[in-house]
Amino acid sequence: MALLVQEQDSRFFKYGDAEIKHADMSGAILDFVDFYKSGKGKINCLIFDSKFTTYAHLDRLNKDDIKFLTLRRRSSKMVEAIERIDKDKWKHIKLGNHVRRKHRNLLVYESNITLKDYDGPLRQLVVRNNGREHPAFIVTNDFDISLKQAVLKYAQRWLVEQAISEQIEFYHLNRLNSSIVVKVDFDLTMSVFADTIYKLFSKQIPGFQNSKAETIYRSFIKN
């Protein structure tokens, strides 16, 4: 498996690891934290896929004063319990224009929960009308931000997926040339490197600062 970490404000990929084994993937987030701290970096908040962590690892992030938002693994019992909640307890949240998604009007239910191997309460946000068959269960240790801010912050993770789609469409990231791990790692590194160069170039062109690499290539490089 591979892990890519993107900084929200700049949209730059700041970290990549293409050598994650399935048996070790639950510790991938902690490996990133150790790497980032070794460079004296400060982590304000982490937003990530639930496959890359465990509840015990969430507890460690919390004790390290790192805010996080991630999905909770969904069960049929959780879905059944949510279906019994009165409609008037759900709140309407509308995504901003910067989040390009078809389903923009969400229904959100908020509660405090406890989880095994995690010391203390967690804030759970259940999101419906998100284009999925079942609701999404988001958990966070940030009790200070508003409900809307929490949902909009997690929605930023979808922008990472859009960036990865661009990596596939323009840089052909999914067309790796070899099954050799070293070659896969090299291909990922070069794709992230190319993406960084395009972003640095686009930020110097008025009106094209946030353009996709394909647009920059077609408008300036190819011509």
pTM equals 0.78
What does the CA dihedral 148, 156, 104, 114 come to, rounded to 10 degrees? Answer: -50
- Residue 102's pLDDT is 56
| 167 has a pLDDT exceeding 90 | no
Ramachandran bin of 94, using left for φ above 0, alpha for ψ from -120 to 50, beta for the remaining angles: beta
State the pLDDT confidence band at 43, using cuts at 50, 70 and 90: confident
| 131 has a pLDDT exceeding 80 | no
Contact 6, 14 (CB under 8 A): yes
CA distances from 88 to 84, 151, 218 (A): 12, 19, 50
- Residue 168's pLDDT is 72
State the pLDDT confidence band at 184, using cuts at 50, 70 and 90: confident
| 202 has a pLDDT exceeding 90 | yes
- Residue 62's pLDDT is 94
- Residue 7's pLDDT is 85
Rounded distance between C-alpha atoms, residue 34 and residue 24, angstroms: 15
State the pLDDT confidence band at 189, using cuts at 50, 70 and 90: confident
State the pLDDT confidence band at 178, using cuts at 50, 70 and 90: low
- Residue 188's pLDDT is 82
| 37 has a pLDDT exceeding 70 | yes
Contact 11, 163 (CB under 8 A): yes
- Residue 20's pLDDT is 85
Complete DSSP assignment for 111-179: EEE--TT--S-EEEEEEESSSSSS-EEEEES--SS-HHHHHHHHHHHHHHHHHHHHHHHHS-TT--S-S
Rounded CA Rg of the chain: 19
Mean pLDDT of 64-85: 87
State the pLDDT confidence band at 12, using cuts at 50, 70 and 90: confident
State the pLDDT confidence band at 89, using cuts at 50, 70 and 90: confident
Mean pLDDT of 61-88: 87
> Residue with structure tokens 């190819």?
222
- Residue 16's pLDDT is 85
Contact 93, 149 (CB under 8 A): no
Q: Which of 112, 144, 160, 124 lies closest to 15, judged by CA?
A: 160
Question: What letter would DSSP give residue 217?
Answer: I
- Residue 128's pLDDT is 83
| 119 has a pLDDT exceeding 70 | yes
